[in-house]
Structure 1
Amino acid sequence: MTMTSIKLKKILDERLLSDDYRSSFNRDKDTYRIEWQDTNEGITITLPNVIAKYNSKGDEAIDELVDHIQEALKIMNEEHELTGMEKQIYPVVRATSFPDTTNAGVKLATREHTAETRVFFAVDLGKSYRLIDEDMLEKEGWSLERLEQMARFNVRSLKVSPKHDRVADNDFYFVATQDGYDASRILNDAFLEEMKANTIGEMAVAVPHQDVLIIADIQNNTGYDILGQMTMKFFAEGRVPITSLPFIYDDSKLEPIFILAKNKPKK
C-alpha cells in the first residue's frame, strides 16, 4: 500500500482516538497532533518522517509509533515526584527552537548550552521520560542549580563505548546505545576531554539527533566534508532531530561550524 499523510492520519485516529483525546492535522506543516481533551497536552508527529520509516519497515514502523505515543500521553497525565528519583534525572539536549514551555503554559527547566542547542532536564520513567518544568522544581523546593548538578552527575555515570570508523584517514567515533541519552553525553566533560587528549588532528563533535553522539578526529580537509555530509544525513533521519551543524571542540568549548564542500569549516 502506498502510504500518504491522509491515510496515516486515518490509521492513527483509528488506533489512538478515544473520549479522552482529540486529534488535528496541519496540512501546511504535514503534522499530526493528538492531545488530552482536558489539558491540551499532547504530542505532534511529522508525518513524512513516519512515512519514510513505513516504506522501509512496513507496519512495524506504525506499531512502534503508536506505542511511543501511548506511552507519552500516559506520562503526561501522571503526577511525578522528583524526590526519590534523583538517580533517574538526566539532561536532554534539544535544538534552541524546541519549545521551552508546555502547552499548559508552564515553563520548562532549561540551561543555555550553545548557539544551536539548549539543555532540558528529564526524569527517566523506564520506557520514556518526563521533561521537568519549573512548577515541579517549586513543588519539590529544588533549585535549577541543584537539578543541573544532579543531571550532569548522572550523565557521567552512563556507559560510553564509542564505535570507531576510519574514513579517508580520519577517525570517527559513534555513541549510539539507544537509551534516549546518547546526545546528552555531549555534556560529559570528562569524556570529551579524554577524547580530545587522544586526537591527532582537530576534534569535532556532533549531535544531529537524540540517539547519536559523533566525535571526529579530523586529520585532513576531506574529513570536514565527510563530517558535514554525515551530520546532515543523521539529522534528516533522526526521530528527534537536534542540529545539522557540528561543533569544533577546543579549550573545553563547543563552537558551531558551517562546513563548506571541499573547504575547511567557517566558525
Structure 2
Amino acid sequence: MDTKKLRRELENRLKHPSRHFIFDREKDQLRIENIRTCQGITVSLLGIIAKWHEQKDAAIDEVVYFVEEGLQAMGKPVSLSGNESKIFPVIRSTSFPTEAKENERFVYDEHTAETRIYYALDQGSSYRLIDESMMKAEGWNLERIRETALFNVRTLPITVKEDVVAGNHFYFVRSNDGYDASRILNQAFLKEMHEKMVGTMAVAVPHQDVLIIADIENNTGYDVLAQMTMSFFASGRVPITALSFLYEENELEPIFILGKNKKV
C-alpha cells in the first residue's frame, strides 16, 4: 500500500455528489470537504498506511467510518447551551488549521511550542470543533468554553496500563474515547503521576488516542521513549507530535532526542 493507492481507495469509498477532495502532496494529507459548506475532515495518509500494514483493510474501514460519521455530524444543528457536559478540549499540532474556512476561525488556546488546544462539542461517535461564529451566536466567550471544557476533561475516568523497558517505567492512557491526549490537561492527574516518579517525568501525546507518561531512570529510557512515540505517531488516526515533553514544575518543555541517549 502506498499513498497513491490509498488516496484512490478513500476517494472511491467516500465519493458523494456533495463532496470534493483536496490532496496536500507535501504533507500526504487528504481532505474530504462538503462543497456547499466547506466543512470537512483531513486525514493523514501515512498514518493510515502504517496501520494498514498491521490491520490491513480494517484500518481503511475505520477511517471511512470516522469520516462518514464526522461529515454527517457537521450537517446537524448544534447548540452549546444545554450541552455544557459535552464540551471538551482536544489537542492538535500547531500545524493544524486555525480556520474551518475563510473568516471562520476555530476557538483555541496555545499550549506548547508543538501543540494547541481546540475545543469540541461531543456528538457521540464524533465531535465538532467549536468556531467563533458558533460561540458568538450563543453569547459565549472563550473563557466560558475553556472553563467548561477543562472541568469536563477532569471528570473523565483514567485507566493506566504500565510497562517496564530497560529499567524505565512507561504508563499508557488509552480509553479510545477521543480524549486520551486531552488528559494531558488534567493537572491533578499529572501531579499525581509526578509524585510516583523515581527519575525524570516525560510526557508524550503522539496522537489523540493515547497519552504516554514515562519515568526515565536511565539514559536508555530516552531512546525507548523516542522510538515508542514515533511508532504511535506514525500509526495514529489523528497524529499530533512525535516529540516528547519534560514535565517540571507544572510545565511541559519539548525535548529533542537525537538517539543513543543524546537529548537537547
Range into which the TM-score falls when normalised by the shorter chain: over 0.9
C-alpha separation in 1, matches of 2:248 and 2:2: 45
Q: Is this contact kept in 2: 1:72–1:128, CA < 8 A?
A: yes
1:85 equivalent in structure 2 = 83
Residue 149 of structure 1 is aligned with which of 144, 147, 162? 147
2:175 equivalent in structure 1 = 177
Q: Secondary structure at the match of 1:79?
A: coil
Q: Secondary structure at the match of 2:258?
A: coil
C-alpha separation in 2, matches of 1:121 and 1:91: 4
Q: Given the alignment of the two structures, is residue 202 of structure 1 paired with residue 220 of structure 2, yes or no?
A: no
C-alpha separation in 2, matches of 1:256 and 1:5: 30
* RMSD (CA atoms): 1.8
Q: Is this contact kept in 1: 2:47–2:239, CA < 8 A?
A: no
2:97 equivalent in structure 1 = 99
C-alpha separation in 1, matches of 2:72 and 2:112: 32
Q: CA 1:148 to 1:24, structure 2 compared with 1: closer, same or farther past 3 Å? A: closer
Give, in angstroms, the shift of residue 210 of structure 1: 0.7
2:137 equivalent in structure 1 = 139
Q: Is this contact kept in 2: 1:40–1:104, CA < 8 A?
A: no
1:261 equivalent in structure 2 = 259
Q: Given the alignment of the two structures, is residue 44 of structure 1 paired with residue 42 of structure 2, yes or no?
A: yes
Q: Which amino acid is the alignment partner of residue 192 of structure 2?
A: E
Give, in angstroms, the shift of residue 29 of structure 1: 4.7
How many residues get paired?
A: 264
Q: Secondary structure at the match of 2:257?
A: coil
Q: Which amino acid is the alignment partner of residue 257 of structure 1?
A: I
Q: Which amino acid is the alignment partner of residue 72 of structure 1?
A: G
Q: CA 1:221 to 1:52, structure 2 compared with 1: closer, same or farther past 3 Å? A: closer
Higher strand share: 2
TM value normalised by structure 2:
0.93
C-alpha separation in 1, matches of 2:109 and 2:22: 32
Q: CA 1:164 to 1:73, structure 2 compared with 1: closer, same or farther past 3 Å? A: same
1:74 equivalent in structure 2 = 72
TM value normalised by structure 1:
0.92
Give, in angstroms, the shift of residue 7 of structure 1: 4.0
Q: Which amino acid is the alignment partner of residue 261 of structure 2?
A: N
Q: Is this contact kept in 1: 2:99–2:105, CA < 8 A?
A: yes
Q: Is this contact kept in 2: 1:182–1:213, CA < 8 A?
A: yes
Residue 215 of structure 2 is aligned with which of 207, 212, 217? 217
Q: CA 1:99 to 1:28, structure 2 compared with 1: closer, same or farther past 3 Å? A: closer
C-alpha separation in 2, matches of 1:103 and 1:193: 38
Deviations 1:235-254 (A, max 9, x none): 12211111111111111111
C-alpha separation in 2, matches of 1:82 and 1:140: 7
In the alignment, structure 1 segments of 5+ residues that lack a partner are none
Q: CA 1:16 to 1:233, structure 2 compared with 1: closer, same or farther past 3 Å? A: closer
Q: Which amino acid is the alignment partner of residue 16 of structure 1?
A: L
Indicate the structure whose relative CO is greater, using CA pairs within 8 Å and at least 6 residues apart: 2
C-alpha separation in 1, matches of 2:245 and 2:114: 10
Q: Which amino acid is the alignment partner of residue 199 of structure 2?
A: G
Flag the structure with larger Rg: 1
Q: Secondary structure at the match of 1:102?
A: strand
Give, in angstroms, the shift of residue 264 of structure 1: 5.0
Q: Given the alignment of the two structures, is residue 235 of structure 1 paired with residue 246 of structure 2, yes or no?
A: no
Give, in angstroms, the shift of residue 59 of structure 1: 2.7
